[in-house]
Amino acid sequence: MKKIEAIIQPSRFDAVKEALHEVGVDGMTVSEVRGHGRQKGHTEVYRGSEYTVDLLPKVKLEMVVPDRMADAAVQAILKTAKTGKIGDGKIFLTHVDDAIRIRNEERGDAAL
């Protein structure tokens, strides 16, 4: 099974979630993160002292899916998260050894 980690623009999150749902990915874990990359940040000024914020709010989705679903999931994300502007984010794919559903201790693909 594969873990898909997608870092996306917060404003695209709802669309991405929906698209994933459509290709059959339901389980996911979401966190608020801040991203640093090519996208340039902004400057804030407090009483004359400027400071540059180059960490921008992003949403990180993590979902572990059976190998066969990975592609569809990635496509769903790409389709909905892309705005074509710098800062759209990244997707990373990693191999996961095992998954366990805590509720009933199911393992492997069945647990996803």
Ligand X SMILES: Nc1ncnc2c1ncn2[C@@H]1O[C@H](COP(=O)(O)OP(=O)(O)O)[C@@H](O)[C@H]1O
Q: What angle do CA 85, 89, 91 make, to 5 degrees?
A: 135
Q: Which two tokens stand for residue 11?
A: 């404003």
Cβ at position 103, least distance to ligand X in Å: 4
Cβ at position 84, least distance to its own copies in Å: 6
Find which of its own copies, ligand X, other proteins, none residue 91 binds, CB within 5 to 8 Å per kind.
its own copies
Give the Cα separation of 83 and 81 in Å (integer): 6
Give the Cα separation of 108 and 22 in Å (integer): 22
Strands 42-46 and 2-8: unpaired
The position carrying tokens 């090519």 is: 38
Q: Is 19 in the site for its own copies (CB under 8 A)?
A: no
Cβ at position 4, least distance to ligand X in Å: 9
Site for other proteins in 57-96 (CB under 8 A): 57
Interacting residues toward ligand X by CB under 6 A? 7, 27-29, 35-39, 56, 58, 62-64, 86-90, 101, 103, 112
